Amino acid sequence: MIVRVTLEIALRKEFDYRIPRELEGQIGVGTRVKVPFGPRTITGVVTAIVGESPHTNLREVSGIVGTKGALTPRILALARWIGEYYCCPVELALKSVLPEAVRREDAKWRERLHVTALPAPPEVPRLTQRQQEVWNIVEEWRELPLQELLRLAETTVETVRKLEDKGLLLLAQRVDERDPYAREQILPTLAIPLNPEQEVATKAVNVALDGLPAYDEADEGDHSATAPRPFLLHGVTGSGKTEVYLQSIDHALSLGRGAIVLVPEISLTPQTVERFKARFSSGPNATLVAVLHSHLSAGERHDEWHKIRQGRARIVIGARSAIFAPVDRLGLIVVDEEHEHSYKQEESPRYHARDVAVVRGRREGVVVLLGSATPSLESYHNAKRGKYQLLEMPSRVTEQRLPVVRVVDLRVESRKARGGMPGIFSERLREAIHQRLERKEQTILFLNRRGYSTSLQCPKCGHVAGCPNCSVSLTYHRSTNRLLCHICGHEEAVPSKCPAPECGNPAIRYSGLGTERVEETLAKMFPHARIARMDRDTLKKKDDYRRVLTEFRLGRIDVLVGTQMIAKGLHFPNVTLVGVLYADLSLHVPDFRAGERTFQLLVQVSGRAGRGDVEGEVCVQSFTPFHPAIQYARRHDYLGFFEQEMEFRKELQYPPWSRIALLTLKGRNEDKVKLSAEHVRKELRVRLAAWKDLVIAGPAPAPLLRAETYFRYQIMLRTRSMGRMGAALTQMQSEVTLPDDVQLAIDIDPVSLM
Ligand code: ADP
Ligand code: ZN
């Protein structure tokens, strides 16, 4: 027998090998194998079993890595699609569909010595007092890891061995599953009676699930023709979307189908995971819920993945890459917060997990449910033109109303302030915080910038301390008294005087605002308030995030200051005030999606307020209070925002009116990068001449011209439909010669233009 193998080195080519007799029957499509390649041995994946090969003198497969079907044929087919659509070598795509922890050759289950009590002999042997104490514990537990017993009984291995010699217990190696949530106490929950809006939405999804064709093991083909249409669930914050997910998943399970739930990494909080584990920990559809995200140890990830592969975990909840989970008889894919940009991987393969979900759903004939309070323009547009089925939940579950949003004009504030610059807190916000402290309610303050101040600027000559590797200014971090680049991580000491040679002014000062300074100012203003800050600087350890949130939930913190990591998904009924300190921050980004992102962020943060019995209030401070993104967010008017933003996009023919491919060339020599970019543009003009409606813009310097010492130039392609654009670009990339020190990256459907 002959197999076709894709090697783990990006050659964009497959090779044929013969299966030696001793491995026959152990190799199938998706098996990972070791094969000779030149003088080396390399790992690869079997992509097909072929009758004969055009090549002669085939070499033999030398061994198998891991289990026979590491990759299911369906996942293999999906990886191929990713390679083609996102212009990346299939080898890379294959790598990203299997977690590193599973791919590694030494990846395996952990085995530990376990102590098992044997049936008590008719005559209990004589035991010393010490031995009796140890035996009592073993008898009570029946079975436990040896280490655990040694700890509990404060004893030694010798004592345990003596008990083994007396025939009371058995010591043996056993698989010991690593469970990242083992220490969590999870209390089972029951389904909540749905309100009418939730009822309609859940019904629609369940009907689609009922309509799925019988699962066909052998089938890896394309169900495009009969595929249920994906659903877009547009439900305001607190409308109870999660309950819809839970009950739909429950229905899928009752039909024998599994589910994948994608959530943005940032909202993969213990709170979220708990809700899923709790619901499926008992009852007729009880199952393990596997969790996949970047904070797990390699061992934990290995075990979670295999629980899925073995079919024991019928539900997976995870971040981006969980879309590749090999769930057996998959029936439903949920993508929560589908508008989130973190679903896009910013390195090759540059896939968007939400889009992959839709494609996987179509190929495998699976129901896809996208949910958001602020759907991406792309998805809402798809729903309006019937590509997706729209489900609306416009009100919050109980009587809670959406919070009142007040916009404070910072221009007026700065006129009032004598120095010309307003303080961090307007009068209104200060008063609002004060009231909450009096009433023992909680406040969340949001600022999307960490550090103390954004830049160090000389008031005399205007010199700004910039990063030597990137075209951005350095941020001052007071706690460490250092300047830090938020792009590349470069750090340096704070100069005692202006470093510009002809200046040397000692009165250099800081401007701009970061979370660190907000916290400090707040502490001065309200000395008795209990304040905590949450951003990447304060969360160093794995457990920090959970710890701070638990403290906040228990009411031990009055005010929580943070970056976008506190904007999403948190549910704290005692939070009645949300302050957005500087709403313009995300507006001043050179990206056509800046308005959309600001709107989404404001709506999401506002959604944290008033989730309990007391009505919530949101205070948004801004220098451009009449910007549509801010005004529509103030009125919780998604549709209004959508319509005006679509007009703006139409004028410029930006997505969703078009699709974009962004080509970025980078290198350390700016002239070379520029010349290469022009060369690529010429090639594109020739190669894509027949492409109707194609617009090629650039080359132009990237908005962030220099990052991590590389200069970057961009070419933007816009077209109505991506079609086979990926293939054409891949071919161009393989045929065009560029200088060795200039690299070309292709990003299909980019979410960031930086
Ligand atoms: P969303 O995800 O839409 O922001 P959640 O699913 O987090 O909203 O729901 C908000 C809160 O309302 C949760 O505490 C949830 O348990 C509760 N909830 C959901 N559905 C109902 C219902 N039908 N009746 C009562 N409470 C509900
Ligand atoms: Zn830098």
In 107-181, where does DSSP find H-type helix? 129-141, 146-153, 157-165
Higher pLDDT, 450 or 749: 749
pLDDT of residue 221: 58
- Walk me through the domains of the chain, giving residue ranges and CATH numbers: 2-103 (3.40.1440.60), 111-175 (1.10.10.10), 196-210+221-393 (3.40.50.300), 404-452+513-648 (3.40.50.300), 659-748 (3.30.70.600)
241 CB within 6 A, ligand 1: yes
What are phi and psi for residue 37, nearest 5 degrees? -145, 105
pLDDT of 443 higher than 60: yes
Nearest atom within ligand 1 for CA of residue 237 = 4
Closest ligand to residue 492's CA = 2
Is the backbone peptide bond immediately before 699 cis, with ω within 30 degrees of 0? Answer: yes
Residue closest to 636 by CA, chosen among 592, 665, 599: 599
Collapsed DSSP state (helix, strand, coil) of residue 716:
strand
Q: Which amino acid type is present at position 270? A: P
235 CB within 6 A, ligand 1: yes
CA–CA distance from 503 to each of 59, 455, 460, 466, 482 (Å)?
A: 71, 18, 8, 16, 22
Nearest atom within ligand 1 for CA of residue 245 = 6
Q: Which amino acid type is present at position 615? A: E
674 CB within 6 A, ligand 1: no
Pick the range with the lowest mean pLDDT from 9-23, 73-87, 91-105, 226-240. Answer: 91-105
* Structure tokens, 532: 């905590």
Angle at 338 between CA 334 and CA 341, to 5 degrees: 135
pLDDT of 225 higher than 60: no
Nearest atom within ligand 1 for CA of residue 393 = 3
What are phi and psi for residue 382, nearest 5 degrees? -60, -35
Pick the range with the lowest mean pLDDT from 12-26, 98-112, 257-271, 381-395. Answer: 98-112
CA–CA distance from 518 to each of 406, 514, 521, 565, 641 (Å)?
A: 20, 6, 5, 16, 30
475 CA distance to ligand 2 middle (Å): 10
Q: What is the dihedral of CA 185, 545, 613, 242, to 10 degrees?
A: -70
pLDDT of 615 higher than 90: no
599 CA distance to ligand 2 middle (Å): 28
* Structure tokens, 127: 């035991």
Residue closest to 534 by CA, chosen among 501, 557, 504: 557
pLDDT of 513 higher than 80: no
| Closest C-alpha to ligand 1, atom 18 | 240
Q: Are 319 and 268 in contact (CB under 8 A)?
A: yes
Distance from C-alpha of 4 to C-alpha of 28, rounded to nearest angstrom: 10
In 155-260, where does DSSP find H-type helix? 157-165, 196-210, 241-254
Closest ligand to residue 467's CA = 2
pLDDT of residue 460: 73
Average pLDDT, the chain: 88
490 CA distance to ligand 2 middle (Å): 5
Q: What is the pLDDT of residues 317-363, one digit of tens each?
A: 999 999 999 998 999 999 999 999 999 999 999 999 999 999 999 99
243 CB within 6 A, ligand 1: yes
559 CA distance to ligand 2 middle (Å): 32
| Closest C-alpha to ligand 1, atom 2 | 241
| Closest C-alpha to ligand 1, atom 5 | 240
Q: Do the bridges between strand 575-580 and strand 617-622 make them parallel or antiparallel, or are there none, so unpaired? A: parallel
482 CA distance to ligand 2 middle (Å): 14
pLDDT of 198 higher than 90: yes
Q: What band does 287 get if pLDDT is binned at 50, 70 and 90?
A: very high
| Closest C-alpha to ligand 1, atom 6 | 240
Closest ligand to residue 469's CA = 2
* Structure tokens, 377: 């323009």
Chain centroid to Cα 317, Å, comes to: 11
pLDDT of 35 higher than 90: yes
631 CB within 6 A, ligand 1: no
CA–CA distance from 740 to each of 13, 157, 663, 732, 736 (Å)?
A: 22, 61, 17, 16, 12
Average pLDDT of 542-557?
A: 86
Cβ atoms within 10 Å, residue 420: 7
pLDDT of residue 572: 85
Q: Are 142 and 115 in contact (CB under 8 A)?
A: no
Residue among 242, 263, 336 to mutate when testing ligand 1 (max atoms within 8 A of CB): 242
239 CB within 6 A, ligand 1: yes
* Structure tokens, 109: 């289950």
Q: What is the pLDDT of residues 633-690, one digit of tens each?
A: 999 999 999 999 999 999 888 999 999 999 999 999 999 999 999 999 999 999 988 8
Nearest atom within ligand 1 for CA of residue 235 = 3
Q: What is the pLDDT of residues 470-489, one digit of tens each?
A: 877 888 887 788 888 888 78
Q: What is the pLDDT of residues 561-588, one digit of tens each?
A: 988 777 766 778 889 999 999 888 888 7
| Closest C-alpha to ligand 1, atom 13 | 240
Residue among 243, 247, 335, 636 to mutate when testing ligand 1 (max atoms within 8 A of CB): 243
Chain centroid to Cα 111, Å, comes to: 31
240 CB within 6 A, ligand 1: yes
pLDDT of 410 higher than 70: yes
pLDDT of residue 219: 65
Is the backbone peptide bond immediately before 349 cis, with ω within 30 degrees of 0? Answer: yes
Q: Which amino acid type is present at position 178? A: R
Average pLDDT of 233-239?
A: 92
Collapsed DSSP state (helix, strand, coil) of residue 314:
strand
pLDDT of residue 82: 94
Average pLDDT of 694-712?
A: 89
Percentages of the chain per state (helix, strand, coil), in multiples of 5: 35, 25, 45
Pick the range with the lowest mean pLDDT from 37-41, 57-61, 140-144, 369-373. Answer: 140-144
Higher pLDDT, 47 or 208: 208
397 CB within 6 A, ligand 1: yes
Q: Are 641 and 732 in contact (CB under 8 A)?
A: no
| Closest C-alpha to ligand 1, atom 19 | 240
Rg (CA), the chain: 29
pLDDT of residue 569: 63
234 CA distance to ligand 1 middle (Å): 14
pLDDT of 377 higher than 60: yes
422 CB within 6 A, ligand 1: no
pLDDT of 242 higher than 80: yes
